[in-house]
Structure 1
Amino acid sequence: MKKIIPIEEGDYYWSDEGYRVFTPQYHLKRGYCCESGCRHCPYGYNVKTNKQ
């Protein structure tokens, strides 16, 4: 079961389209890459090559 990470100030912002965009701060707190091609992935994942 995945650990629930409480969302705090600075963990996300709202895009112009109305989507919640997680920041590198949140991704680092989560502790792993989800391999979804997140906009601010601090782990260096590349969707095109499927590698970190």
Structure 2
Amino acid sequence: MNSPPRPDPQSSLKKDVDYYMDGPFLVFTEAYHLKRGYCCGSGCRHCPWKQQGNAGEASCSDPGSPT
């Protein structure tokens, strides 16, 4: 049995909803990350899965459950 294909979250990106521009950088919003559904481990600025580390630095935690 095949599972249904997952929708491509990049197929319908909406500016100022899913991302915004910070100078030359495209920055994904928390809404986009939640739509995507998992943590990529890159330490994204608005990652809903990151927690504060010991030195106050943000790091991604359990990619299965947003904080």
The alignment-based identity, stated in percent, is 48
Unaligned runs of 5+ in 2: 1-5, 52-58, 62-67
TM-score (norm 1): 0.74
Count residues with an aligned counterpart: 46
Segments of 4+ in structure 1 off by > 4 A?
Answer: none
Unaligned runs of 5+ residues in structure 1 are none
CA-based RMSD:
1.8
Q: Which has the larger radius of gyration?
A: 2
**Greater RCO (Cα-Cα under 8 Å, separation 6 or more):** 1
Larger strand proportion of the pair: 2
